């Protein structure tokens, strides 16, 4: 009899724990999130949000772009829950967050290659990192200086709020300033449109955007060599995943402190198998 009573008590306790866990899980799937930031991450974030809400109808996720800097500023001032970024949070932003007693936590959610794109009529098929740097700093103002025809170089890039702008300046330009007449654009799509229309234009965009535009014949992706004399590496899923493509990076989500509730549930989905399958479908590279 004692053993039977103990079993009843154990079963009741187990049931209560399961109910509590179920209630906690359900609560985690309710509510709303504001997600803001990188234009590069935007198509991913939109697809993730749509898939997550489809499985969790009590959750409401609002996704907007604006650039990595905009997203991180919004995270720090409390106007969004998750900041999407195509670069690492800067020391200045970390200091601003700490001044508000906020600790910014980084979550790697995908890998990306920054593709160098040219007009389809441009015969150049490969550029070294030094040649790309020369074009964007103004050292090379004509394509014949970097292996092309006698055509003026028109550089097209992102605006200063973009994480891609910051990453490209630091990694490719070695921290040097962009040439003063670079055509700064708010989105990857805008860069593609200008390069499509100008024979002398060169641009840099996220791999997913570049692959889509190249498949439609709008632009051509050139391969990139680390140094003169080395073979050019084409920007592909495989070369980015392996790290062989010279201009590769991680894409991030940032949170205020350790995520919990709906934020944690969303990020668990993003980093899980279903979320990473979406990364591949959109045209970026999974982190695992």
51 and 175, same domain (yes or no): no
| Number of domains composing the chain | 2
Higher pLDDT, 239 or 12: 239
| pLDDT at position 10 over 50 | no
Rounded average pLDDT over 41-57? 96
- For residue range 157-207, what is the model confidence (pLDDT) as tens digits? 999 989 999 999 999 999 999 999 999 999 999 999 999 999 999 999 999
- For residue range 237-275, what is the model confidence (pLDDT) as tens digits? 999 999 999 999 999 999 999 999 999 999 999 999 999
pLDDT band of 28, cuts 50, 70, 90: low
104 and 163, same domain (yes or no): no
Beta carbons within 10 angstroms of residue 190's beta carbon: 18
172 and 234, same domain (yes or no): yes
Residue at 288 is within a domain:
no
100 and 120, same domain (yes or no): no
Residue at 287 is within a domain:
no
Q: Tell me the percentage of the chain whose pLDDT exceeds 90.
A: 88
* HEC assignment per residue over 215-249: HCCCCEEEEEECCCCCCCECCCHHHHHHCCCCCEE
| pLDDT at position 23 over 80 | no
Domain holding 125, by residue range, is: 112-248
pLDDT band of 228, cuts 50, 70, 90: very high
142 and 216, same domain (yes or no): yes
214 and 94, same domain (yes or no): no
Rounded average pLDDT over 212-216? 95
pTM of the model: 0.80
117 and 244, same domain (yes or no): yes
**Residue 67 Ramachandran class (φ > 0 left, ψ -120 to 50 alpha, else beta):** left
Tokens linked to 199 = 């024979």
What pLDDT was estimated at residue 30? 87
Residue at 2 is within a domain:
no
What pLDDT was estimated at residue 7? 34
- For residue range 76-120, what is the model confidence (pLDDT) as tens digits? 999 999 999 999 999 999 999 999 999 999 999 999 999 999 999
SS3 81: coil
Tokens linked to 157 = 């890039």
Residue at 89 is within a domain:
yes
CATH no. for residue 67?
Answer: 3.40.190.10
80 and 196, same domain (yes or no): no
235 and 125, same domain (yes or no): yes
């Amino acid at each position: 009899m004692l053993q039977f009573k103990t079993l009843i008590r154990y079963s009741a306790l187990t049931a209560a724990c399961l109910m509590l866990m179920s209630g906690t899980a359900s609560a985690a799937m309710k509510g709303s999130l504001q997600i803001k930031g990188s234009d590069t991450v935007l198509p991913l974030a939109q697809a993730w949000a749509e898939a997550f809400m489809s499985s969790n109808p009590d959750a409401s996720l609002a996704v907007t772009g604006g650039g990595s800097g905009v997203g991180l500023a919004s995270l720090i001032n409390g106007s969004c829950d998750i900041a999407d970024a195509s670069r690492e949070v800067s020391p200045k932003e970390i200091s601003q967050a700490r001044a508000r007693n906020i600790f910014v936590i980084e979550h790697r959610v995908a890998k990306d290659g920054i593709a160098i794109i040219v007009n389809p009529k441009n015969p150049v098929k490969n550029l070294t990192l030094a040649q790309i740097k020369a074009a964007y700093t103004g050292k090379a103002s004509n394509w014949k200086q970097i292996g092309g025809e006698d055509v003026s170089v028109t550089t097209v890039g992102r605006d200063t709020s973009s994480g891609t702008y910051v990453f490209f300046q630091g990694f490719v330009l070695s921290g040097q300033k962009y040439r003063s007449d670079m055509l700064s654009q708010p989105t990857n799509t805008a860069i593609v449109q200008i390069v499509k229309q100008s024979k002398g234009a060169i641009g840099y965009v996220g791999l997913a955007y570049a692959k889509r535009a190249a498949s439609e014949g709008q632009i051509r992706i050139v391969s990139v060599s680390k140094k003169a004399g080395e073979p050019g590496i084409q920007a592909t899923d495989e070369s980015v995943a392996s790290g062989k493509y010279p201009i590769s990076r991680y894409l991030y989500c940032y949170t205020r402190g350790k995520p919990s509730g709906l934020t944690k549930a969303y990020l668990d989905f993003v980093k899980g198998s279903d979320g990473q399958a979406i990364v591949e479908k959109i045209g970026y590279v999974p982190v695992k």
